[in-house]
Amino acid sequence: MVSARRSFQGSLPIAAMPRLREVLADDAGVAQYELDFGRDEYGTAYVDVRVQAPLWLVCQRSLDPFVLPVTVNSRLGLIRSEREESALPEGCEPLLVAEDDKLSPIDVIEDELLLVLPLVPVNPDSALPEEVTHTPVEEAPTEARPNNPFAVLRELKKN
């Protein structure tokens, strides 16, 4: 694919990616992808991966499902051993290829989508629940506070 500078494009159901499906609220939707293979000016084999997909996540603020549209645009340097990673140009992420030089496009697309997922998904249109936004924080009375070991330093600093 690299020598022939092959390109592939198409759509892939989210439901066809089992590892991604495990972390989503729903597996509805389709990922649109483009894969372009080639060599850069240094002779490094690469694949450009572009993916757009609507991913259903659970908002950690409201606990409601929401759709997060994600876009992936990355260049992966195809390497056969981890020693080759240091020779990759800047901006090129390593992708370890099996000894038989075979690469599963579905796995590459799924990996890239997993990498763009937020650690804590929050719907930008969500608000904090009513009981959280109106709970007053009470200040502890001065005499109820435990002795602060740095209170002496604070007094010394004032002088």
pLDDT digits (tens, 9 = 90+) for 17-54: 999 999 999 999 999 999 999 998 888 899 999 999 99
Query: What is the distance between the alpha carbons of residues 41 and 89, in angstroms, rounded to a whole number?
Result: 10
Give the confidence band of 143 by pLDDT, cuts at 50, 70, 90.
low
Residue 67 token pair: 């759709």
What are the boundaries of each domain within the chain? Answer: 7-126
Query: What is the distance between the alpha carbons of residues 79 and 21, in angstroms, rounded to a whole number?
Result: 28
pLDDT > 70: percent of the chain? 87
pLDDT at 134 over 70: no
pLDDT at 139 over 80: no
Query: What is the distance between the alpha carbons of residues 20 and 79, in angstroms, rounded to a whole number?
Result: 24
- Note the pTM of the prediction, 2 decimals: 0.75
54 - beta bridge partners?
69
Tell me the mean pLDDT in the region 135-148: 60
Cα 139 to Cα 130, 131, 145, 152, 155: the distances in Å are 21, 19, 10, 22, 22
Q: What is the pLDDT of residue 152?
A: 72
Tell me the mean pLDDT in the region 69-94: 92
Q: What is the pLDDT of residue 31?
A: 97
**Please, what is the average pLDDT of the chain?**
87
